[in-house]
Structure 1
């Protein structure tokens, strides 16, 4: 016997000619991948052999890769005989044409399928099998081989045939021979019975009258029949019951007794009318079917299949213990459609609902299959379930039963994802992916010899996002595909190219001097820069490159990649479209910036950002008239940190916006708290960075938290620097500030006097407050020039009717001098350092 399917066999994704049982194929694949499965391979083979499950894995040319004894036994041929033997030669002649057609249709699309067919053995015997076929494909999606799983269903087919024959027999019996008819009084006593009673039972008709007919019942059925007949007599409801009657031969046969009452105008029972129908053969066939189903359940249990059994006649459901375990339910859980729907992931519930509705509507289709997700009741884990079901119908077409098998295919799907993820080439461009390229880089380092350089080039496709957003992602994909092809043309033949992800590519070059490599990359960039035509658009493929050398810039693949990435980042900052060679000085600046950005992301993610408040004081009487909210964040080990530790984040559009959002929301919440406590905190100033003004929803981001917390906009002061006013979008900035001003928000110009064209800005923008920079305040008592500048700024503010605030006041002499010059407010260490929100209430109660 050839060994059972192995992990390698499934990893090759082969496919089959015949149709394998989808559930069994997934079972074997899951077993082959899980090394910790407690059942050994030979034990599983024994179980499957006993369950008469045959497995055949062979190439499309007929070469047998794997086959087990069960399959050989089913088709009556050895593994050697099956080698290159077309399946048509051991398919029953009447089934060949349909088998060939179905196989050909599914081979074209590599889609799995399943059929029921007959195999013919060399000795002429025929066996019915449920045959499931799947196709294992290569990376390009082309079929390479087939996996066939066949199970013997001869018993079931025989039972079904016998059941159909029995039903046909009963139909002719009813049509050609009168049933036993009878009538009874309202109290249930038999009044008359047809002659067929005597013919069937051998008991004279007169001996069946009254309650004498009970003597013909099987002793085991007497109590049940009497009880149900008494209920119908008392309630007037029809009766439909099966029981055994003694026949003239002395044996017992099963009969179906049905009766209904005729009532008068007042609803009183006048007489009962009934029939007796011989259903003995049907009952035996039903028992045989149940026995066959029991064998099927054992096989399903061995294959770890769950079973959902629905009896449409009695409207009863049964779930196997394995199925309940799959759902995370206890063994005593009651089968219920609502419970099953509740466990199904909402997005997939319509699939199960459709099956239930189809069953209730009497769907005539026999076979159905669906895959959906559930969340296990016990632990909430999401699992994939593949269901295969059969509908059974009576000869009249009425749905009688629905039998569903369920398999947990989560591991299979995860394994498929893992296989795709670990593939060696990028699906879009066809070049090496990151994992394979890194492996090639490591091998190149291992074989490098002294005197020969190894160069790693990282390339970033410029303007890819712009093309995706303006022309479409199809154009972006074409651009990436073209770029990858040109990489080979620009750097072949002695180069390895790869796509590391997104718009980033890599090239591995061996040999040559430093200058030669840099020139070679520059020449390659010119080839890459040729235009790409797409749907009438001319798309640029300009790229920026970062170059690192082995061993000068790194001794390992990781170090070389890092150095090239740093060079690429530096090039994107100032030398787009060119190649930048790594220099050690680049590392420190990038690492510091990357560290700041990472710290800022953590602070935003973990909600570590919080405002500290520094008081603003009226210089005339020392009253607290407001505060400035200064950003702080909590470090787990170092405690409260200042904004200088994450300074790079304020130049990043997303991070700057996220930090501002945290600050604005916290300030609004604190203001609401102070107001509710009866304090008057005045206005609270919040700093906005230039990056905030590049955000399209700045006004909503500021005003929405105020509205949510019930804080009047007049309580907020927005501090901006002249850097905000010096950009290209001055009209947009002016419009934004005007909206804030109209809403009652105060606008303060921070660090006044240190920038450019300050007087012009006072004219162009709706500024309410001028803040004198601390550099002037620090020397106002010692330096006449600084004093003159401060005096001029104060005078200008008074003439323009603007508030004036001096920052950085640290000495009493400075405060007195500023007050004498007419400065209204002061802020600095002299009046208090920035403190957390919970210290402000005490400060306000003293002021």
Structure 2
């Protein structure tokens, strides 16, 4: 027992065991009995606390002190809310007051929290000691530590939920059958796909869902598997709501120690799109074969399934072989010069091995038997695999490139052309530009156009550099076709190309280039991917924008930069004002670097308000930076920095660290917790290790991830590598972060993105809210967004709310939350803390703008 506890006997004392049905009997516990009782209670494995209604400790044992991490003296006068977990206080306090009014005991499971922040789950029983009139005089609390049991229960529930979600949400249909082959269990997705109740499927009605043409074959294969105990793998069509779709069924048996089948386990996988794609691929192959023959290319077709080779007549002619020659690798090897046979052997080995690349190229020399002439041959090949990964076909084309390989032409070509694309390189194009400027008659015009591929880096990062190289080659070839033989073209380096136009009037340059950009934009296929060839162009005119090659290049480069920032996929013609914009961008970048270096970047917080209660339900952290002369500045003054990957990440790291510090401080001070939204720029998603970088500052400071909301714009969803983005957002979601889609409706994200990505919150852009009248188009858009969000079980936040009429309209339409100057601007952390403590009802209008 704790020293300093009040005596258990004597006038006015109440025995701990006294209940609502007993009255006090002073002196009923002798001194010896009291000492024995104290010893018993001190050794009890449950915590016991007896206090009067003034919170004076009458009795407490060591177990209770250990549970709450406080001594008897520390418990004296301390309200129970002080050592109750914040999430349990309201529920516990409400129950206590209700039972106190009735003078009836009660039980509750809650968490006690210790001064060091650790908490433990307890089963708590509270009873009241009554006076003769039945009025409560003191409370007796008995607490049992149930932390281990609670964690075990939580683990069991999580395991059950995990199993249920694994089965219900898996794209495959899981099923099982008994040893005789009768289906005994099938996942609920069976009903979603076929419309047949899973219970009916267990009574052999699953055969009714199979296409009639596939029933007999399926039954026969299943019966053979059951009889032999061998795994089964076959495809058939299911009638999905009346329409047939191809599925792949696989199953394997579970056997006992004697090898007897106990049960079958299988899955059904939807492969309909794959089958359609394979058929389309076969059709494409035939078209390719015809096109190659028309172009005079030789074709070598190898059927790996049936071990059959076919050589086209053009192929045999190029090799100098008789039209009656029987195709074989040995025959092909015999015409290759000995020095290059290892190349063909390596090609053959790779083609028939497990090499994962679908395409291959090799150039080698042959000596034709017909005339003994040595020729250079370039071969390009493609591997075609089945859905199982098995090699089915190898298709090779051959082209005579002898003239291209002559020494004199190769030296000249290498010096003046880009090796990858085959078009003039920078030095050669610059020479052509200077020559054209020098030879242009007075009064004539030239147009210099710089083009920048918009998605080369993303393609290199997501599909691979082979795809990026193919993009560059394809774009260069189309560039020649789009601008014609009169235009000089070149690759200046990386993803930048140039075109010099003559004979096109200045007022028609934009229209001329715009038509060419449309022709260049057609996507192409590479290794199963659809690749985008969109480019942005900047143009400058001679002599209006420069009289030298250097001046024209600088002017066109400035126009290209403006186009990349404002008009991607279009052409921008140079204007003198653009030069000032470029200088302003440079200034922004310099200012941003100083702000990062001197730790001037700080978060300001704008409250989010619940429209139904008027209370603060969240904060959005907005970037601000401190200028020694101008004071706190907004992000628009350094906007260019958000497009720079290095600066964007540096500013984001600074913001995340400050936000984590502020939240940790609020937690320590007992500030009512609300989620804090953090904005992620599109540039940050190009950085590897994004998840670790975002989670690290909050993990280090012990801030729960559940209190963080990540805001992304529609621009992020429009990237090329959607699978990688979806995986990244799913990882954030699994950690407990909420995902909000900012500025919804202003970009080009489709409704498909709302299904593909784990979005929890939709934020209505302020441009729709500012003109919110019942009859306006903006109101119709807002109504549609709110309705959509409700159907998708997403929360809705309206941004830029500045008028009571706007807030009332949004509330009537069922919008959940709002933020804007009607409630508060962005405020520093200290002011935000004050708002959180006050709750800041919507009618207060007490927060300053920032």
Q: TM-score, normalised on structure 2?
A: 0.36
The structure that has the greater radius of gyration is 1
Q: Which has the higher contact order (CA 8 A, sep 6+)?
A: 1
TM-score under structure 1 length normalisation: 0.36
